[in-house]
Amino acid sequence: MIMDFVPLWTLIVGAAVFFYVLLDGFDLGVGMLYGFAPDRPSRILIMNSIAPVWDGNETWLVLGSVGLYAAFPLAFAIIIPAVYFPILVMLLALIFRGVAFEFHFRDAAHVTFWDRAFSLGSLIATFAQGIILGAFIQGFNVEGRHFIGSSWDCITPFSLFTGIALVFGYGLLGAGWLILKTEGRLQATARKQGRYFLIGVLLSIAIVSIWTPLQDPDIARRWFTWPNIVYLTPIPIITAFIAYFEWRVLSNPRWEMAPFIGAVGLFWISYIGISISLFPMIIPHHFTLWEAASSPETQAFLIVGTLFLLPIILMYSGWSYWVFRGKVRSDIGYH
Amino acid sequence: MHLDPLILSRCQFAWVIAFHILLPSFTVGLASYIAVLEGIYLFTKRQIYFRVSVFWTKIFAISFGMGVVSGIVMPFQIGTNWSRYADATANILSPLLGYEGLTAFFLEASFLGVLLFGRNLVPRWAHFVAALMVALGTLISTFWILSANSWMQTPSGYKFVDGQFFPVDWLAIIFNPSFPYRFAHNVVAFYITTGFVVVAVAAYLIRKTKHVEQGKIMFSMTLWVLTLLVPLQIFLGDLHGLNTLKYQPVKIAAIEAHWTTEKRAPLILFAIPDEKTESNKAVLEVPLLGSIILTHHIDGEVPGLKQWAADQHGPVAIPFFAFRIMVGLGVIMFSIIIISLYLRARKRLMTAWFLTLCQYAGPIGFLAILAGWVTTEVGRQPWTVYGVLRTAQSVTPSLTTSDVLLSLAGYMIVYLIIFPVGIILMGRIIRKGPAEKIEKEAIEGGQSSSPITTPPEYTS
């Protein structure tokens, strides 16, 4: 008897994407904040706060994309070409961001170029990912098993806005990380930047929450009809609580880990909101998770290893973070 | 030539994957080498191994980073430009790629941080374990990706229903007919490539009489390893060829520019294949050697391309010349180690002209790997899944010519910046050489010799 692995795979792929967003989110956010650093020693400290962990973080991107390919290949085959140019831009930006770690340190003659590559690469990659998110929510033109329509369809006012929203979001995560890892003037600056980003994030959540149902009657029906409207009121209430909490801890020097946790909380609640809007569709208006899924044999073959390996991965990744715990030390990393 | 999304997507994939393969070609061997150096240092406590390891770890950091960013491009390529292939093969290939991510990528990425930055922070044995895990991760990764590629070459354990592949037997899928040969041949190729780079760097250091002690350790040890590996590689290549003859005969025919099936076939050293007339011009051949090398029998039958319709095979000239380049480079590698044995017998291993030869032979492995991959991948055409799914059926249907022109231009420009810069920066580290002595004992790779203390205004 073959089990239905789709719910489990939905959880796993969803979790992998969420982990990616959190982990690469904070290091792309840190990369963006790098562009605002006042001087070279600050830049070095900022970069060193993520230097030992960025590669592991970015590996979740591979896991998320390959996980999508493995569990929901029809979705992969439709979504990825439909966002052809945002993916191209994201990859090129990630290339510059990735090599900038080593190159800015080793190529002293062009350090300004590599500084820009690092911060702009982080910004552009974030913006591109936000466009992909917006395009995903809006859905795609599909015929049979293929995306039809142009490679530029994904660039819409809505997706450009979600691009900006994600910049605020990753900026907030990055600020939270820097508050955790730095002290003194750098930390104070990160707190201030965090407050600005928080305002941006909250405005974005509000606008996207209104715009999404406005442009999609199915989603509007899901949120605003009785009795759903009762079951779903906790969502905006929880969001407001987290927002208030985040505002308070950003300004309070006693709370060093809380701003990062609050940012994670905002991402978590937004993620839940999007899932509620879209479930069970993985290609909005066309295919459910079940319709896009790979063969049961495939899902079974991969789940066995995944359930065994994911906890191990989390353990040694956690160990790696623990090795580099505490404030950024000036003798660990690049100089 | 008529530009369309198919030909441009082929060019784009070839571009990104050719650049990417250069990195694992180096980092697989180098990760193992660093693990060995760290191990020797851990057990002998001899400082010189520490210094040589720190030197190579700096180089490794640059090349591994380039490998990661060029590698992230690859799974997305499958989706952006080859969505029909992705949809058709997902059930079979996606778990192989999934396991590559789960068992290899996370392993190497997580322990890399400790290897590069954690020497001060963890016990010495833990730092050595980190180096081992990175090396292991690179090898596990090679296993899975070559299993996937080999399945495309010699598919097995599947059924093909309504344009989609479904798995029937996972062991047959993973351990498909060409996989063991391709895996062995590639891993040895990776180690040989790194070996020639290390030998070249060592030769350079000795010639410039800089850090000669470090240079000598690297030079002799690595040449011994190459002395074992190069003949092994020739043997493995022969086995790989025999396997290809059995499972992909049309590919052998194309590689050999062989048009007529025959026994006692000659070995064509040089020719200009003419696909229109299905014959060769300007032929230089050695009688009988074709059958002998390809089938190990003088009366062995070598397949000819005319046995198949023209749309059942890909271009002939490309795999023909690529293969000869690869073998020619192999002959040069073999000659170098023969010379080294001769010089060792005369106790004159580090004579000046041999050092110069070794220095300039540094990149030889990379060229051979590129030539070999061109042979096998172009030789697989017109199929993405040999005999079942055509490349022309694999391309993403929504793409236009301008879409792919733009993306191809983007990848070309970015790679033409990043890769030369990376090579130049690695060259600078090499020219500086390993440190003569390092003041603090446990210093992570990549740090300058005097640590910077925290300036007062950055503490609260």
Complete DSSP assignment for B393-450:
GTS-TT--HHHHHHHHHHHHHHHHHHHHHHHHHHHHHHHH-S-S--SSSS--TT--SS
Assign B285 to helix, strand or coil: strand
Sign of CA pseudo-dihedral B141, B142, B143, B146: positive
| Count, residues in chain B | 460
CA-wise closest residue to A310 among B100, B106, B111, B133: B106
Q: List Cβ neighbours of B192 (8 Å cut-off, separation of 6 or more).
A: B29, B226, B229, B230, B233, B333, B365, B368
For the full predicted model, state whether its pTM sits above 0.95.
Answer: no
Model confidence at B438, pLDDT cuts 50, 70, 90, reads: low
Q: Closest-CA residue in chain B for A94?
A: B69
Averaged over B338-360, what is the pLDDT?
94
Half-sphere exposure for B209 (CA within 13 Å, toward CB): 2
Q: Which pLDDT value is given to residue B109?
A: 87
Element (H, E) at B243: helix B212-247
Q: Give Cα B81 distance to the centre of its chain.
A: 23
Candidates A116, A146, A301, A308: best to mutate against B (most CBs of B within 10 A) is: A301
Which amino acid is residue B161, in one-letter code? V
How much is the pLDDT for B446? 40
Mutate to test the interface with B, among A80, A181, A317 (most CBs of B within 10 A): A80
A182-200 pLDDT, tens per residue?
Answer: 999 999 999 999 999 999 9
The one-letter amino acid at A196: Y
Q: What is the pLDDT of residues B214-230, one digit of tens each?
A: 888 889 999 999 999 99
Q: Please indicate whether, in this complex, the C-beta atoms of A56 and B422 are within 8 angstroms of each other.
A: no
**Inter-chain touch A88–B410, beta carbons under 8 Å:** yes
Between CA A140 and CA A205 the distance in angstroms is 23
Exposure of B356 in the CB half-sphere (CA atoms within 13 A): 3
Q: Which of A301-305, B184-188, B199-203, B214-218 has the lowest mean pLDDT?
A: B214-218
Task: Kindly list the residues from chain A whose CB atom is less than 8 angstroms away from the CB atom of residue B397.
Answer: 146-148
pLDDT for the residue numbered A229: 87
When pLDDT is averaged across residues A62-75 and rounded to a whole number, the result is: 94
**Yes or no, beta carbons of A302 and B396 under 8 Å apart:** no
What is the rounded CA–CA span in Å between residue B353 and residue B361?
12
Record: contact B69-A94, CB cut-off 8 A: yes
SS3 A156: coil
Gap between the Cα atoms of A70 and A65, Å rounded: 9
Q: Pick B106's closest partner by Cβ from A74, A185, A317.
A: A317
Give the residue with greater pLDDT, A330 vs A124. Answer: A124
**HSE (CB half, 13 Å, CA atoms) of A164?**
13
pLDDT for the residue numbered B360? 96
Q: What is the mean pLDDT of chain B?
A: 91
Query: In the prediction, which pLDDT does A306 show?
Result: 93
Neighbours of A311 (CB within 10 A): 9
The residue among B19, B59, B63, B76 with the most chain A CBs within 10 A of its CB, best to mutate, is B76
A260 CB-side CA count, 13 A: 18
Cα(first)–Cα(last) distance of chain B, in Å? 66
Interchain contact, A73 vs B90, CB within 8 Å:
yes
Q: Which of A23, A65, A99, A254 to mutate to test the interface with B (most CBs of B within 10 A)?
A: A99
Which is nearest to B290 in space by CA: B320, B247, B330? B320
At B87-110, the pLDDT tens digits run 999 999 999 999 999 999 888 988
CB atoms A69 and B62 under 8 Å: no
pLDDT tens by residue, A81-109: 999 999 999 999 999 999 999 998 889 89
Q: Which residues contact A270 (CB under 8 A, 6 or more apart)?
A: A169, A205, A239
- Identify the pLDDT of residue B459: 35
Looking at the complex, report in whole angstroms how far the Cα of residue A225 sits from the nearest Cα belonging to chain B: 37
Cα-based distances in Å from B369 to B25, B254, B260, B396, B420? 8, 19, 29, 29, 19
Q: Which of chain A's residues have a Cβ under 8 Å away from the Cβ of B448?
A: 335
| pLDDT above 60 for B441 | no
Give the other-Cβ count within 10 Å of B350's Cβ: 18
Find where tokens 């000598």 sit: B216
Residue type present at position B19 = F
Confidence of residue B211 (pLDDT cuts 50, 70, 90): confident
CB contact under 8 A, A95 and B70: yes
Task: Chain B: give the shortest CA distance to residue A329, in Å.
Answer: 8
Q: What percent of chain B has pLDDT over 90?
A: 83
Residues of B in contact with A188 (CB under 8 A): none
Q: What angle do CA A187, A32, A319 make, to 5 degrees?
A: 65
CA gap B197, B201 in Å, rounded? 6
Q: Taking the CA of residue A182 as centre, how many other CA atoms within 13 Å lie in the half-sphere pointing to its CB?
A: 28
Separation in Å, CA B456 to CA A16, A183, B276, B379? 41, 11, 77, 64
Tokens 């062991």 appear where? B171
> Would the pLDDT of B433 be above 90?
no
Q: Do B110 and A56 touch (CB under 8 A)?
A: yes
Per cent of chain A over pLDDT 90 is 84
| B113 pLDDT above the threshold of 60 | yes
Q: Compare all CA atoms of chain A with the CA of B417 and give the residue at the minimum distance.
A: A96
Cβ–Cβ of A55/B167 closer than 8 Å?
no
Please determine, for residue A220, whether its predicted confidence score (pLDDT) is greater than 80.
Answer: yes
User: Among B20-29, B176-185, B409-418, B445-454, where is mean pLDDT lowest?
Assistant: B445-454
In whole angstroms, give the CA distance from residue B426 to residue B437. Answer: 21
| Nearest by CB: A51 against B91, B117, B429 | B117
B chain contacts of residue A52, beta-carbon cutoff 8 Å: 113-114, 116-118
Using CB atoms within 10 A of its CB, is residue B436 exposed (0-12), middle (13-18) or buried (19+)? exposed
* CA–CA distance, A142 with A287 (Å, rounded to integer): 9
State the Cα–Cα distance between residues B143 and B353, nearest whole angstrom: 39
pLDDT of residue B29: 96
CB B178 within 8 A of CB B241: no
pLDDT for res B146: 97
Q: How far is CA B413 from CA B16, B407, B417, in A?
A: 12, 10, 6
Closest residue of A to B110, CA-based? Answer: A56
Residue predicted with more confidence, B215 or B144: B144
Q: Which candidate, B432, B435, B433, B438, places its Cα nearest to that of B450?
A: B438
pLDDT tens digits, one per residue of A116-143: 999 999 999 999 999 999 999 999 999 9
Split at pLDDT 50, 70, 90, the class of B454 is very low
Q: What is the mean pLDDT of residues A33-42?
A: 94
Do B86 and A80 lie within an 8 Å CB cutoff? yes
Among the ranges given (A226-230, A288-292, B414-418), the one the predictor scored with the smallest mean pLDDT: A226-230
CA distance between the termini of chain A: 59
How many Å lie between the alpha carbon of B244 and the closest alpha carbon of chain A? 28
**A:B CB pairs within 8 Å:** 257
- Separation of alpha carbons B254 and B313, rounded Å: 8
Q: What is the pLDDT of residue B439?
A: 52
Closest residue by Cα to residue B85 from B6, B19, B177, B15: B6
Please say whether the beta carbons of B257 and B294 come within 8 A.
no
Tell me if B459 and A294 make a contact (CB, 8 A cut-off).
no
Q: Report the 10 Å Cβ neighbour count for A153.
A: 18
**Mean pLDDT for the stretch of residues B326-355:** 95
> What local confidence, expressed as pLDDT, does residue A333 receive?
73
pLDDT value of residue B1: 66
pLDDT of B410 strictly over 80: yes
- Average of per-residue pLDDT across A56-71: 92
Note the pLDDT of residue A335: 61
